[in-house]
Structure 1
Amino acid sequence: MITLLLLLAACLLTCLGQVSQKFAVDSWRDRPHGWRTKVASPWLWSALLCLGLGLLVWLLVLQRLEVGIAYPMLSLNFVLITLVARFVFHEPVDRRHWWGVALVIAGVALLGAEV
């Protein structure tokens, strides 16, 4: 059970890091072109923190699971990012993309039986 929770935490932290990256680059559009103002972005620091913590949790996952099982489970990020893209950033997601999401969920469910 702890392994599954760690795996989900790694996925969520990685997803939060990627979303923070998107918010960071979106916020840069309103700032001057200098790198100092970009480095001062709280979204950039949030991304670095989430991705760093996600890496540490991922290392704990790899101690407990075979990489052949653990790594494909990270494809849940594809599902989470698609949901965020659609409902937070209001990006269009076509039917073929949703079918891909469904297939990823099915694959993760099959692999999850071994966790």
Structure 2
Amino acid sequence: MSLLLVLAACLLTCLGQIAQKNAVENWRGQPSGWGEKLRSPWLWLAIAALGAGLLVWLLVLQRLEVGVAYPMLSLNFVLITLIARFVFHEPIDRRHWLGVALVIGGVILLGLHT
């Protein structure tokens, strides 16, 4: 159950980060007034997803030691890298992919501890 909560926290925070990216992308070329920006559905999705991620994270911290739980959030780096590459078509070099592989290995080692 704890690992599912960690995964849910990761997915919610990643959703929030992607929504932030889409919000600022949609702001390009628009007037610089905050009134228009605050009406962005992407901005509100980001706030909701990050808020929900925070609440799930609090549940995680009730169940796992912070020394185990916090490093598992590094899964966000993996998920965001995959989204950056395959959704936003950003270039990812070999060194970055090696870092992603090392993060996955570390999370697996931590997962075996729980």
Report if TM-score (shorter chain) is over 0.5: yes
Q: Which runs of 4+ in 1 moved over 2 A?
A: none
Counterpart of 1:50 in structure 2 is 49
Gaps of 5+ in 2: none
Gaps of 5+ in 1: none
Offset of residue 30 of structure 1: 3.2
In the alignment, what sits opposite 1:60?
59
Matched residue type, 1:70: A
RMSD after superposition: 0.5
1:25 equivalent in alignment to 2:24: yes
How many pairs does the alignment contain?
114
Q: How does 1:1-115 map to 2 (within 5 A)?
A: 2-115=1-114
For residues 96 and 5 of structure 2, what CA distance do their matches in structure 1 show? 27
Give the residue type in structure 1 aligned to 2:91.
P
What is the TM-score of this pair, normalised by structure 1?
0.98
Deviation string for 1:55-81 (max 9, x for gaps)? 000000000000000000000000000
Deviations 1:42-96 (A, max 9, x none): 0000000000000000000000000000000000000000000000000000000
